[in-house]
Amino acid sequence: MSRLQLKRVYDAPGRSDGARVLVDRLWPRGIAKDKAAIDLWLKDIAPSSDLRKKFHGHPEAWDDFVSAYKRELTGTAAQLAAAELEALMRKGTVTLLYAARDDTHNNAVALKTWLEKRS
């Protein structure tokens, strides 16, 4: 059974991270690609730019964001990215990386919940 965990991309990589997967559409500011220790960047599983902009900085609208994001996750590109992510999860620990400062209200939290319900 794989372990799915979350980590801010700005935090130092750890031995227990397993496969490190960036699940943001934009590359995080201030992180050099050669030092990021990111194994896979799944832009297609991230919320659309419109959705991200609409809910950025509005934690009170969390439930609306999660509902809208779940609808986006039914799209073809997102489903292909999810299949790739689930294949990694079958091999071992996967750490979903995100850049948001809010550790409670971000797409990686919503994605983790969605993935755990699927499996």
Alpha carbon distance 98, 96 (integer Å): 7
Alpha carbon distance 25, 16 (integer Å): 24
Q: Tens of pLDDT along 39-95?
A: 999 999 999 999 999 998 888 999 999 999 999 999 999 999 999 999 999 999 999
Tell me: pLDDT of 1 over 70.
no
Q: Give how far Cα 55 sits from Cα of 26, 60, 70, 85, Å.
A: 16, 9, 14, 25
Token digits for 16?
A: 């227990």
Q: Tens of pLDDT along 98-112?
A: 999 999 999 999 999
pTM score: 0.94
pLDDT of residue 2: 64
